[in-house]
Structure formats: structure tokens, C-alpha cells
Amino acid sequence: MKTSIHICAAKYGAEKHNRREKEMKHVHSEYSHLNKCWEAEDFKSVADEIRKAKERYSSHHFCRKAKLDKNGKQLTMPAYDKRTGNPIVDPRTGLQKVIPEWELDLSKPKKMPKNSEPIREGVAVITETTTMEQMKTLAHQIE
């Protein structure tokens, strides 16, 4: 049997759906008593996890600004290949390329992009023999 896991962005209030705390038309209620649920110990809600992700993002990402010399001219530095560490040379001129020097502006933390998906959830197809331990192992592997 071929199957897959569909993973997408978690939406606010998803935990009510996952815990079966609200009525859903697509659920076979005659099997609801067989449902099992597991969440990480520190999980409160999707909204709380998204808030924490935004805080982590803004505490690690800052706006950049160009470094200027005392005359107001932008400072530059030689460009190097990230993989090899060799200088990058312009094939037409034969001169080493230069790139602007930047510094982090710690007074301006970046906001997380609106289209980011910091919290994701998935639906896995299981059989009657699938155990909760197997699902926990799967969750840790995906993490």
C-alpha cells in the first residue's frame, strides 16, 4: 500500500480540531472513542507556538546597513567564494570583485515574513496496528 503524509501550515485554533473539541462533519463519530492524542509537553496552542516563533525570529534576525567611512562613502571588501575560499575574479577585467561591507543594525530586528509557516502539522494515514510509539518516532524524525 502506497501512502504519504500531507504537511501544511498549522492554523490558529487547529488544536481544537485535532483534540476533537469541536463538531466536524467529515469525522466518523462512531469511531471517535478509538482516537488517541499526543502533544509535546510544552505545547499550549498553535497561537502560542507562532508567537514564540516570531519572537525567536526577531531576536536572531536584524536589518543590515552599509558601513560608511568618515566621508560617507560606502566601504567595500574583496569577494571570496564561500565554498573554496578563493578570490572571485571578474573574467572581463581580471580584477578581484568587491562587495559592500555590511553591519547589523541591532536596533532594528526584522519581522517574520507574512508568508512564513513557522508551525506545521500533518495528517498521516495509519493502520489498526500502528502504535503511538511509532507515531512519536515519526514525529521526532520529521522534526
Buried b (16+ CB within 10 A) or exposed e, 23-45: eeeeeeeeeeeeeeeeeeeeeee
* Dist. CA 119–CA 142, nearest whole Å: 13
Q: Are 93 and 86 in contact (CB under 8 A)?
A: no
Mean pLDDT calculated for residue range 111-118: 85
Domain boundaries along the sequence of the chain: 1-13+43-60+114-143, 62-109
pLDDT digits (tens, 9 = 90+) for 5-56: 888 888 877 777 777 777 777 777 787 777 777 777 888 888 888 888 898 8
Residues 6+ apart with CB under 8 A from 90: 96, 97
pTM over 0.75: no
